[in-house]
Structure 1
Amino acid sequence: MSKGVKILTIQDISCYGQCSITVALPIISAFGIETAVLPSAILSTHTSSFSGYTFRDLTEDLPAIQKHWEKEDIYFDAIYTGFIGSIKQLDYIKNIIESRLKPGGQVFIDPAMADYGEFYNIFDQKFADKMGEFCKLGDFILPNTSEACYLLHKPWKPDFTKDEMLDIARELSSFTKRYVILKGDNHKKDKMGMIILDKEDESFTKFVYNDKVEHMSFGTGDVFASTFVGSVLNGKSPEAAAKIAGEFTKKCIENTMDDPKHDYGVKFEGVIPEMYDLLKKY
């Protein structure tokens, strides 16, 4: 397990709903990584399957937190961003990355803003264009196909061919310092997978697949991204980290399927011991 590594994750706190920080903090911590949090907003629940939720915007708290960390000489080995609530926050978080990331540190950006071809209800193309600029700070970007299409101003569709997915991944390489992890490759009908592209090595383009589980759950993108981050910071290659994250996410979905009332997230907590087996496997 990783020792002495400190990561900062910046995303919202949905107090109920198994997503964002309430997923990232326990999963990355389980990898043996000291995990600090910077909430971009506090919501009573996530926005996907609940209505009437409360929302407290924490945008104006971010500069003061950065200033205090500078005073206390606090730095991080890695920074991982998820759901960011506004364009203004992206500017503030850029400053935090440039100020608080150690030299040689890694940045992981999950441009969480869309799914199934639709923006989440607070986002639009203007935000996506700003997110595209922000992604260029990342050593790793982890968009799904909907987010990729908005970044690239392309029309989305439920099914892309293998060649189309490759083209999208290659175009996304202009939005990252090095790695693209493009989620949502389903051209194999019984599989769900992703493409991993290294812009520094044109020969390195990998497809990683898991058996498809016919069950829709919210928060799986956060589970995948957090597991991927934890795996990379434990020394795994991007390909191995994607395999670990994909299999772990699948196990979390399977662990939830027998509870029809649990449609707001996945029961990842009871599956964490299996994550250690996957670390050994890959």
Structure 2
Amino acid sequence: MNKPVKRVAAIHDLSGFGRASLTAIIPILSTMGIQVCPMPTAVLSSHTGGFNGYSFVDLTDSMIEYKNHWKQLNIDFDCIYSGFLGSTKQIDIISEFIDDFGTDDNIVVVDPVMGDNGELYDTMDSEMIVSMKKLVCKADIITPNFTEAVYLLDKNYDLNISEKEIKEYLIELSSMGPDVVIMTSVPESKTSKNTSVIAYDRKTNKFWKVTCKYIPAYFPGTGDCFTSVIVGSLLQGDSLPIALDRGVQFITACIRASYGFDYPHREGVLLERVLQNLNMPVMVSSYELI
């Protein structure tokens, strides 16, 4: 029996304050007409990007109960989507989840959240990198930023990198397992005021690139928002380059809608002001084949 709407298992943390992880993923995918079934990896009073003294409840053991109950209910998903994880044990649980719920017809999307700007997050270490590599092998699509890509590949973080080398990185990441690799925050030349997203589709052996103007502001949670739009777009039947375009356009709109307001950027982008953009057609396709 066909489901009336697509269904996603979203395996992420839940932060009570700040627009990141599930508090961003659920409204985005719901707006795009996708049912979100959250499996919280942890519950925090706020996200960790700029806040101190937050409460943290580890839900690793609950994840096992979640998985077992969903298996009893015989739930099927159109997508399994994981993000920030709190321990290597959680990666083992998600690997089992993919084994139990993954099919030839659904897609597994792994956002290997580990760091940014050349550094690992405080909660990450070398053991997590090794475990994340194993999870990446089970994915159909991964969405690392440039920092996470170099950690997965054991490369040096060097912003002076050519497009040819980026392509080589993407192919190497795809050889680990995923058919599609989407790299965000790809560095441009020192004189450029742009930033790029570049993707590689192994099945078609094509590289797609979307470039946008760099806006000098940092908002936590934009990576979660971007990957969520990619997931929603693909489940709606869009092609990979159109999904990239929609993701970049939406994040750009989020940042532009937020940047002019005087509020603490650690709270994340003003998602509520731009959610309706997700139901608009792609007006300008800025992707290119490289």
**Which band: TM-score by shorter chain?**
over 0.9
Q: Distance in 2 between matches of 1:9 and 1:159?
A: 35
1:191 is matched with which residue: 194, 200, 218?
194
> CA offset at residue 64 of structure 1?
1.2
- Does the alignment pair 1:154 with 2:155? yes
User: 1:10–1:39: 8 Å Cα contact kept in structure 2?
Assistant: yes
> CA offset at residue 103 of structure 1?
4.0
Tell me the equivalent position of 1:205: 207
Deviates more, 1:109-118 or 1:91-100: 91-100
Tell me the equivalent position of 1:74: 75
Q: How does 1:57-68 map to 2 (within 5 A)?
A: 57-68=58-69
Deviates more, 1:151-160 or 1:219-228: 151-160
- Does the alignment pair 1:133 with 2:134? yes
Tell me the equivalent position of 2:269: 266
Q: Partner amino acid for 1:219?
A: G
Tell me the equivalent position of 1:251: 253
Q: Distance in 1 between matches of 2:176 and 2:16?
A: 31
Q: Distance in 1 between matches of 2:178 and 2:85?
A: 20
Q: Distance in 1 between matches of 2:136 and 2:241?
A: 20
Q: Distance in 2 between matches of 1:211 and 1:253?
A: 11
Tell me the equivalent position of 1:225: 227
Tell me the equivalent position of 1:35: 36
C-alpha deviations, 1:207-226, integer Å up to 9, x for none?
A: 11122222221111111111
SS in 2 for 1:182: strand
SS in 1 for 2:230: helix
Deviates more, 1:100-109 or 1:82-91: 100-109
User: 1:116–1:158: 8 Å Cα contact kept in structure 2?
Assistant: no
SS in 2 for 1:104: coil
SS in 2 for 1:165: helix
Q: Distance in 2 between matches of 1:96 and 1:59?
A: 13
User: 2:31–2:276: 8 Å Cα contact kept in structure 1?
Assistant: no
Q: Partner amino acid for 1:5?
A: K
Name the CA shift for 1:271/1:159 in 2 (closer, same or farther; >3 Å). farther
User: 1:7–1:36: 8 Å Cα contact kept in structure 2?
Assistant: yes
> CA offset at residue 176 of structure 1?
3.1
C-alpha deviations, 1:85-106, integer Å up to 9, x for none?
A: 1100010111112112344210
SS in 2 for 1:251: helix
Q: Kindly, what percent of the aligned residue pairs are identical?
A: 32
Q: Distance in 2 between matches of 1:226 and 1:278?
A: 17
- Does the alignment pair 1:106 with 2:103? no
Q: How does 1:163-174 map to 2 (within 5 A)?
A: 163-174=164-175
Q: Partner amino acid for 1:201?
A: T
C-alpha deviations, 1:18-75, integer Å up to 9, x for none?
A: 0000010110111101111000001111112011111110001111111111221112
- Give unpaired runs (5+ residues) of structure 2: 286-290
Tell me the equivalent position of 1:236: 238
Q: Distance in 2 between matches of 1:116 and 1:150?
A: 12
> CA offset at residue 123 of structure 1?
0.5
User: 2:31–2:278: 8 Å Cα contact kept in structure 1?
Assistant: no
User: 1:25–1:35: 8 Å Cα contact kept in structure 2?
Assistant: yes
Q: Partner amino acid for 2:178?
A: K
Q: Which TM-score applies when normalising by structure 1?
A: 0.94
Deviates more, 1:45-54 or 1:154-163: 154-163
User: 1:173–1:180: 8 Å Cα contact kept in structure 2?
Assistant: yes
Q: Partner amino acid for 2:133?
A: G
C-alpha deviations, 1:84-132, integer Å up to 9, x for none?
A: 1110001011111211234421011100111011111111122111101
C-alpha deviations, 1:196-248, integer Å up to 9, x for none?
A: 1012232x111111222222211111111111111111101111101100010
User: 2:230–2:246: 8 Å Cα contact kept in structure 1?
Assistant: yes
Q: Partner amino acid for 1:256?
A: S
Q: Distance in 1 between matches of 2:160 and 2:57?
A: 36
Name the CA shift for 1:129/1:256 in 2 (closer, same or farther; >3 Å). same
> CA offset at residue 170 of structure 1?
1.7
SS in 2 for 1:84: coil
Q: Distance in 2 between matches of 1:3 and 1:231?
A: 17
C-alpha deviations, 1:131-164, integer Å up to 9, x for none?
A: 0110111111000011011101111134432222
- Give unpaired runs (5+ residues) of structure 1: none
Q: Partner amino acid for 2:79?
A: A
Q: Partner amino acid for 1:209?
A: T
